[in-house]
């Protein structure tokens, strides 16, 4: 069961990184009225990664194992 949790977290982290990359690429071609929304999404993705890193530290889980 623990391995399933690791796989789940890794999948979430990979998805977050993909979304950050794709959203950053969209920012390059975005209309000015879209920029605030895109910036907010990027900030939210980074905040989720930060929470995952902080939680891993708190529970003494090696971040490398989770792709953090």
List own/partner pairs for 24-27 with CB under 8 A and 24 or more apart.
none
> What's the whole-model pTM score?
0.83
CA distance 53 to 66: 9
CA distance 38 to 24: 8
CB 52 within 8 A of CB 44: no
Q: For residue range 9-36, what is the model confidence (pLDDT) as tens digits?
A: 999 999 999 999 999 999 999 999 999 9
- Where along the chain do its domains lie? 2-66
């Amino acid at each position: 069961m623990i391995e399933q949790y690791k796989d789940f977290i890794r999948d979430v982290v990979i998805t977050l990184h993909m979304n950050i990359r794709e959203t950053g690429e969209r920012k390059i071609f975005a209309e000015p009225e879209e920029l605030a929304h895109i910036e907010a999404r990027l900030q939210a993705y980074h905040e989720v990664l930060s929470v995952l890193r902080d939680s891993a530290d708190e529970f003494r889980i090696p971040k490398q194992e989770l792709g953090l």
